[in-house]
Structures are given as C-alpha cells and as structure tokens.
Amino acid sequence: MPVLNERDYLERAVATVLAQRIDEPLELILALGPSTDGTTELAHHLAQLDSRVRIVENPAADIPIGLNLAITAGRYPTVVRVDAHSELQEGYAMRALATLDRVRAANVGGVMRADGRTPFQRAVARAYNSPIGLGGGAYHGGTQEGEAESAYLGVMRRSVLEEVGLFDETIRRGEDWELNLRIRRAGYRVWFDPSLSVTYWPRESWVQLARQFTATGRWRGELVRRFGRGNSLRFFAPPLLVISLLVAMIVAVLQATSVIAGWWSLAASIIYLPALVYAIMIIVVSIGPGGGKGWRDKLWTAAVLPTMHLSWGYGFLVGMLRGAHDTVDTSRLGTRNTPLP
C-alpha cells in the first residue's frame, strides 16, 4: 500500500485489509512517503497495534518506487496491491486468490466502486462509475468476466512480477497499465472478475481533481509516445474534445471579426456541433438519475465531468507533444485541502 498524506482514510483502509480472511499468512506493507498531515504518525501507530503491518520508507513518494520497495520487502508468493484511499470488500482476497487459480491468471482485478462523503466527492464518484466519466473501462462498472487490458489494483503472482521486472519506476502514472502490458506480452493472462469490489474515495476538491487528471492525462500521452497501438482508442476521446473546442473558439473569433463571413461562415459553424452535443450530454447526465438527488449534487456533476475530460485531454496533448518528464500528481502533496461542504 503506497501511502502519502492519507490521514483521513488510512486507518479504515488498513482495517479492511487486516479483516480479510484467507487460509494463508498475511502481511500488509506500507510504502510510506514523506507526509505532512499526520499520516506518518498514524502509520507507525497502526504498525504497533498489529504485527502484520510493516513499514518501508519511500522518500521519493513516487507510487511505482513505493510499490517495488514493498514488493521486494514482502515474503509471500502472492502480491495484493491495495490503496490507502480505498477499502476492500469483505472476502475480496479469498475470492481473488480462488479466481487467480481457477483461470490460471498472472493478475486478477475487480471493480472500482467510487463513493463520496460530500456533494463534490459524490459527483466525482458518479463520474468514475459512469461510462461517460472515464470511458467505460471494465473496472469502472463492467459485468462480464474475462481477459482484460489491465486490472484495478491487482492480485498478482510474485514469480511473474519478478520475471517481467516489477513496476517501471520511470512511469509515475499509468504504471499499472504498463505493467499489465508487459505481463500480457510475456504470454500471461490479466483477468477481470466483477465479483471483486473495492470502494474508492476520490479527490475532495476541484483543484485536487484538476491536478490529478492533468497529470494522469500527461502520462497517458507519454505512454502513447512509448507504446503507440498498445493504447486503447478510448484514450483519444478527451484530447479530441479539447482540440475541437479550441478550433471552435478560433472560428468564433474569426466570425466575430468578419474574417470569415457569408457562406464560409455558415459552413465553418459545423465545428460547433461537437461542443453542442457534448454540452447536451453533460446537462442530460447531470439532471438525470445519474446526476445525484440534490441540486448541489447535480451542479457539481455538471462541473466535475468537463473538469475531468478537459484536464485529462489537455494533459494528454502536452504529454504527446513534450513527454511527461518529471510530471507528478501534486493533488496529494502538501497539507490536505479542507473537504468542500
């Protein structure tokens, strides 16, 4: 479990891991980054309360580095990746181990079920759980068991991890997708099992969300630079949206200044169609059953969806053109923001 500035979520996340009942020995290794919100003290307290909790220091605070430190420190043949911002359902580990053996997979993952405590966080959760929000990846609500492109978190065979070289420490976001690409190219199965469920708590403020998705999009652009056709076509929808909106803005300026007029202006107006369709889609989703119950939930949904899409799309274009370099997700760095009312 990589951990950085998770004071509000860590204790519950650890509790759901230690509550798993399996017929094998279990240990929980926290890859502890340099937190500033009291997480470090809480993590050491939890380790004192239960000998199964161990701590490895992750001064770089990078997720793939922390994961590799924890995996290397581990003693058992199966690695269950968990997250400090999520909670495992009861029986998760036992079902995952059974699936791992049943289908002879190298990595098994399930469904990310996002949830929220405030109107804003609930709106983000609805976006995560909707095909409109994150493009319909299997672990965002899939119901059909089978081979998958990647796995959320993942229950993995240590032998396969060591064979393919663990996580790539040069990739700071999308490291799980890249690892699963290497696993599949090595001839092993990555498997999606919808009976496995993990509760995920999204970012708590608009700024955190925008930072998270900009960094994630930039790294996806980097992954496209590196692996090309290995990337799903769904990853290209947000950058295409950003490009269409930019072109629409340019056309609007040219029309307003009469640089283009008459039939040319009328023909150019077709560029507004994607933006119009997108705006209608956002309105329908926001006011419909998926937009929440109260008016604040619906307003936040209308704000959250374009924030996710445009931040991700902008980051993707920058990553494609310039690479990701040392881009990090700063949404968890520093003191946590106060949750929105």
CA dihedral 221, 306, 62, 186 (to 10 degrees): -50
By CB neighbour count within 10 A (0-12 exposed, 13-18 middle, 19+ buried), where does 24 fall?
Answer: exposed
Structure confidence at residue 339 (pLDDT)? 36
Average pLDDT over residues 271-285: 93
pLDDT band at 139 (very low <50, low <70, confident <90, very high): low
- Domains (range + CATH), the chain: 2-204 (3.90.550.10), 227-329 (no CATH)
Write down the pLDDT at residue 163. Answer: 97
Structure-block tokens of residue 156: 């993995």
pLDDT digit string (tens) for 200-213?
A: 999 999 999 999 99
Q: What is the mean pLDDT of the chain?
A: 91
Backbone φ and ψ for 325, nearest 5 degrees, come out as 55, -120
| DSSP bridge partners of 29 | 54
> Does residue 280 surpass a pLDDT of 50?
yes
In DSSP terms, which residues pair with 80 in a beta bridge? 155
In the structure encoding, which two tokens stand for residue 182, read together?
């290497």
How far, in Å, CA of 212 to CA of 120, rounded? 15
pLDDT given at position 295: 82
Cβ atoms 223, 217 nearer than 8 A: no
* pLDDT on residue 285: 87
Q: Which residues contact 92 (CB under 8 A, 6 or more apart)?
A: 20, 110, 196, 197, 198
In this prediction the pTM is 0.88
Q: What is the pLDDT of residues 45-98, one digit of tens each?
A: 999 999 999 999 999 999 999 999 999 999 999 999 999 999 999 999 999 999
Which one-letter DSSP state was computed for residue 340? P
> Tens of pLDDT along 114-133?
999 888 999 999 888 888 88
Average pLDDT over residues 265-281: 93
Judge whether 94 and 180 are in contact, CB under 8 Å.
no
Pair of tokens at residue 68: 């590799």
